[in-house]
Structure 1
């Protein structure tokens, strides 16, 4: 079940065929999920790994990328090289806070396995959100095998949403959250381009949730759908959201950075404020400029490939792309909540799924 299945259309622009990040040609998404299936399953492990693969040759052929930080109570590895060089040089991993290092190291091992031994370096991009209310986060349940599985099953099909992959144990606006995705397309004189967004949503307060301007969080309050019982000292709205934006439009790194920044506006339009203890991190990459040389060459760079021809979207079109990113981010967050299932964690904390009938009533759809 997704937003459009309930009659909720976010924004006015067209979606891609799948309404997912995998509408961007070549982009694949894979999951490895631990637990997270039903309300009755109070398993100690409700977590997992998500892998977003920009294209099949990402291990040796970078793509341009840019990042943005709405609030920094979170972690995403590999960002300094993206800020410095504007290049993404690995698949993107998403997991829980205390498994970030394991996933990062597993991606290094995956690269060595695929490329063979050598003196090359690897700075994988892995981001996290905190699932400690619904998962035994200190149990270190995520292993290298889960990373390998997520990469192995990565597909261009429409990704599952809700309680899957790294989003398995997440909470969004005090409803059950998790993994979500959406996309938009734009026709230009240079052809059709696609913008796809993927979120791992674990942020926000109930009373601030707004959908298309409707104050849903106040209409579906704690009396209608209970909010999770938080431990003493845990601030509401803590947790984090990671937003990954993909496009086949030929953006340069500074344009990717601008696109990543606009994803934060989508978070804000849904009611997120970048709360004090929320790690709200955005990354955008473009597959529209292919053929960027590997970050370590076998040949002498003074002799071979001394220059690279690239293209860029005209500045006059950027506002249109900003709109697409904002809408896709909003709908991806909404999709993750609508698809999610109620889940109880090992200490008895329950995150309830948003009630579809109450949501339709709040949006005046019935």
Structure 2
């Protein structure tokens, strides 16, 4: 179930075929979802490692040859209480050189190491290096996060499962244990297509949504969170030390428009406007980090050897006319907003660690809240 299945249409631009990030040619997505009840579900403070497990891994593959042929990318930080590895090299070089993986906060290291091994497996041994991109949001309210249940094998499986076409949403992959605006959240995706200078360009977005306070939730400008308050659908229990709105959101924006790195950064920045339209404020303990990349320019493998005068000292690239950037901004904002809504509409009620329950956003209540004057 998705927002459009409920009659909720965000923005004015048409969607791609699947209304997903995979509508950008060559982009693939894979999930591995980990669900185990274990023996630690009862009581307020189950032992680490005893479960329940409510987590996973999601990977976004920009194109099949990403290990050998980087693409241009850029990034933006709305609030930095979070982690996305590899960003310094992206800021320095403007290049994305790996798939993008999403998981929980305490599994970033093992997922990063697995991506390094995947690169070595693809390219063989050599004197190259890898700075893969791995992002996180915190699922410790529902998941036994300190049990470290995500392994390198799960990353390998997610990469092997990565496919084009429709993308599973809600309680899947890295989004399995996530909470959004105090409803059950998780993975969401959407896309938009528009013509600039007579040519069609696609923008696709994937989010791992785990942020926000209930009363601030807006959908298409309607105060849904006020109309479906905690007296109607309870909010998850949380310790007093964990501020409401804490969590994070990761947004991955892909496009086939030919963008240079600074244009990718400008596109990624606009995802924050969608988060704001939904009611997010970049709360103190929310890590709101956005990455944008373009598949239009594929850079050649590093093969320059100055001593032997080999390699390619010059590379021809394409660039979108600056006056068309506003069009991409509009597409990014619309797709990000719809992806966040999809993450909640697709999600199902989940009970996890210590009996904490994150309730799904009831579809009938959502429709009624959208229809209210």
TM range, smaller chain: over 0.9
1:297 aligns with 2:321: no
Once residues 324 and 17 of structure 2 are traced to their aligned partners in structure 1, the CA distance between those partners, rounded to angstroms, is 22
Match of 1:101 among 109, 113, 127: 109
Match of 2:243 among 230, 235, 242: 235
Q: Report the equivalent of 2:120.
A: 112
Q: Report the equivalent of 2:358.
A: 351
Structure 1 unmatched ranges of 5 or more: none
What's the TM-score, normalizing by structure 2?
A: 0.94
What's the TM-score, normalizing by structure 1?
A: 0.96
The residue correspondences of 1:122-271 to structure 2 (distance < 5 A) are 122-189=130-197, 191-271=199-279
Q: CA deviation at 1:298?
A: 6.5
| Residues matched between the structures, number | 361
Q: Does the residue aligned with 2:88 lie in a helix, a strand or coil?
A: helix
Once residues 252 and 68 of structure 1 are traced to their aligned partners in structure 2, the CA distance between those partners, rounded to angstroms, is 15
Q: CA deviation at 1:293?
A: 2.1
Q: Does the residue aligned with 1:71 lie in a helix, a strand or coil?
A: strand
Match of 2:320 among 313, 326, 336: 313
Q: Does the residue aligned with 1:14 lie in a helix, a strand or coil?
A: coil
Q: CA deviation at 1:327?
A: 0.5
Q: Report the equivalent of 2:18.
A: 18
- Checking the alignment, whether the CA contact within 8 Å between 1:239 and 1:279 is kept in structure 2 is yes
Once residues 278 and 303 of structure 2 are traced to their aligned partners in structure 1, the CA distance between those partners, rounded to angstroms, is 44
Once residues 328 and 372 of structure 2 are traced to their aligned partners in structure 1, the CA distance between those partners, rounded to angstroms, is 29
Q: Report the equivalent of 2:99.
A: 91
The residue correspondences of 1:20-59 to structure 2 (distance < 5 A) are 20-35=20-35, 44-59=52-67
Q: Does the residue aligned with 1:337 lie in a helix, a strand or coil?
A: helix
Once residues 297 and 52 of structure 1 are traced to their aligned partners in structure 2, the CA distance between those partners, rounded to angstroms, is 26
Once residues 304 and 245 of structure 1 are traced to their aligned partners in structure 2, the CA distance between those partners, rounded to angstroms, is 31
Greater CA drift, 91-100 or 228-237? 228-237
Structure 2 unmatched ranges of 5 or more: 43-50
- Checking the alignment, whether the CA contact within 8 Å between 1:36 and 1:47 is kept in structure 2 is no
CA deviations over 1:246-289 (Å, ceiling 9, x no partner): 00000000000000100111111000000000000000000011
The structure 1 segments of at least 4 consecutive aligned residues displaced by more than 6 Å after TM superposition are none
Q: Does the residue aligned with 1:242 lie in a helix, a strand or coil?
A: strand
Once residues 142 and 218 of structure 1 are traced to their aligned partners in structure 2, the CA distance between those partners, rounded to angstroms, is 36
